[in-house]
Amino acid sequence: MSSSLPNTGRKTESSREGEKEKKFLGMLSYKIDYDFDKSNLNVTILSAENLPAMDLGGTSDPYVKLYLLPDKKKKFQTKVQRKSLNPVFNESFQFKVPYNEINSQTLVMNVFDFDRFGKHDQIGQVSVILGKIDLATTIEKTVAIEASPENRLGEVCLALRYVPNKNKLTVVVMECKNLKKMDVLGLSDPYVKIYLMAQNKRLEKKKTTIKMKTLNPYYNESFSYEVSPEKLQRVHLHVIVSDYDRVGSNERIGHVIIGNNASGVGLKHWNDMIATPRRSVAAWHSLQPDAD
C-alpha cells in the first residue's frame, strides 16, 4: 500500500481515548411552547451554525426533519437551505398532543444534508425529553448537535485504486471498527459486500470472508472490477456491512455509497482516487442506516 493509506494498526490507549471524543457537528437553535387550550405543541426551528461541510465544495445543503417519539407517525421537514453552514430556517410546526400524553413524548430534530442525486446524509440530531422541561413557559435554546444513536453503526476502511490504461478499479476492504453489537454476547460475525452500480442497477458483486465474533474485523481483502474511464463517470460503489447468522437471515449493519452521486467522504474519496491514478487512496467511512 502507498503512503496515502491511513494508519490502521492496532490501537493504543491514547488512540482509544481520542475515538471517545465527540465530534463537533454544529449547533441548532429552536423554540418550543405548548398551547394548553388547544393541546398543540408548537416547535420553531430557528437556525443552525457551524455545521460540518458535507459537500466537496466545503459547504452543505442542510434541512431539519422533526418528529415525536415513540410513535414517529407525524413528521415535518424544513426547507433546504442551499450552500450554507449557518442556515436560518425560522419555520414553525405544530403537533397535536394531549396534555396527559406530553410527558411520555420526546421531540427529535434530525439535521440532514440534502443530496439531489444520492442518499441524504444525516449530520446529527437534537433530542428533547418533553417530560423534563417546563411547558408553562416558552423555551428557546441553542444546543450542540449530537451523532444520532442509529448512526453509531461503526466504520469501514476502504482503499481505492484506478488504473486507466488497464480499465481496472481495485477496492481493498481493509478493516472495520466499532461495529454495532448484533448478538446477545455483544459481538457480531461481520462480512462486507461491494456492489458496482450503474444508477440503481447492480453490475457486479464481491464479498469478503466472514470474521467471527468481533466488532473490529481485519480483512485486507482486494477485489477488482473492469471499468473503462468513460464508464467510471457513470458507476458508483455500494458497500454493505452485514452480520452473518448461521440459523436465521443475515442482518445488515450499515452501508456507504462511494462515487459521483455520493456526498461527504464518499464523494471526496472517489474524486481523490480519480485525481491520483495508479495510486491507492484509503479512507474511513461511517456506516449509514437504511432510509426510513
- Residue 221 grid cell: 481483502
Q: Which of 148, 173, 207 is the last residue of a domain?
A: 148
Mean pLDDT of 17-37: 79
Q: Which of 148, 172, 207 is the last residue of a domain?
A: 148
Partners of 175 in beta bridges? 157, 218
Mean pLDDT of 72-90: 93
In a domain, 189, yes or no: yes
Q: Are strands 190-198 and 201-207 parallel, antiparallel or unpaired?
A: antiparallel
pLDDT in tens, 119-175: 677 889 999 999 999 999 999 999 999 987 655 789 999 999 999 999 999 999 999
**For residue 162, what pLDDT is reported?**
97
**For residue 31, what pLDDT is reported?**
98
Query: Looking at the predicted structure, is the pLDDT value of residue 89 above 80?
Result: yes
In a domain, 172, yes or no: yes
Q: Give the range among 90-99, 116-125, 217-226, 252-261 with minimum mean pLDDT.
A: 116-125
In a domain, 292, yes or no: no
More confident residue, 17 or 28: 28
Same domain, 208 and 244: yes
Q: Which of 110, 133, 148 is the last residue of a domain?
A: 148
Residues 6+ apart with CB under 8 A from 160: 169, 170, 171, 172, 258, 269, 270, 272, 273, 280, 281, 282
Rounded to two decimals, what is the model's pTM?
0.56
In a domain, 21, yes or no: no
Question: What is the separation, in whole angstroms, between the first and last Cα of the chain?
Answer: 38
Residue 33 to residues 16, 28, 67: CA-CA distances in angstroms? Answer: 41, 17, 15
**For residue 70, what pLDDT is reported?**
81
Same domain, 110 and 201: no
Mean pLDDT of 58-80: 90
Same domain, 165 and 84: no
In a domain, 13, yes or no: no
| One-letter amino acid for residue 62 of the chain | P
Query: Looking at the predicted structure, is the pLDDT value of residue 42 above 80?
Result: yes
Same domain, 142 and 47: yes
The label of the residue with cell 482516487 reads: 273
Contact (Cβ atoms closer than 8 angstroms) between residue 111 and residue 28: yes
Domain range for 92 is: 27-148
d(CA 253, CA 286): 11
Same domain, 161 and 276: yes
Give me the chain's average pLDDT, please: 87
Percent of the chain with pLDDT over 90: 63
d(CA 71, CA 105): 9
Same domain, 184 and 244: yes
In a domain, 66, yes or no: yes
Query: Looking at the predicted structure, is the pLDDT value of residue 240 above 60?
Result: yes
Same domain, 120 and 92: yes
Percent of the chain with pLDDT over 70: 89
**For residue 253, what pLDDT is reported?**
93
| One-letter amino acid for residue 271 of the chain | N
In a domain, 60, yes or no: yes
pLDDT in tens, 96-130: 999 988 988 999 999 999 876 556 778 899 999 99
**For residue 34, what pLDDT is reported?**
96
Same domain, 68 and 185: no
Number of domains in the chain: 2
Same domain, 143 and 192: no
pLDDT band at 22 (very low <50, low <70, confident <90, very high): low
pLDDT in tens, 186-215: 889 999 999 999 988 999 999 999 999 999
3-state secondary structure of 272: helix
Same domain, 170 and 134: no
Query: Looking at the predicted structure, is the pLDDT value of residue 74 above 80?
Result: yes
Query: Looking at the predicted structure, is the pLDDT value of residue 278 above 80?
Result: yes
Q: Residue 219 sits in a domain of what CATH number?
A: 2.60.40.150
φ, ψ of residue 138 in degrees (nearest 5): -75, 130
In a domain, 14, yes or no: no
Same domain, 73 and 132: yes
- Residue 117 grid cell: 442525486
Contact (Cβ atoms closer than 8 angstroms) between residue 174 and residue 157: yes
DSSP character string of 3-62: TTS---SPPPHHHHHHHHSPPP--EEEEEEEEETTTTEEEEEEEEEESPPP-STTS---E
pLDDT band at 20 (very low <50, low <70, confident <90, very high): very low
Q: Give the range among 6-20, 198-212, 233-247 with minimum mean pLDDT.
A: 6-20
Same domain, 162 and 127: no
Residue 241's nearest CA partner among 207, 270, 292 is: 207
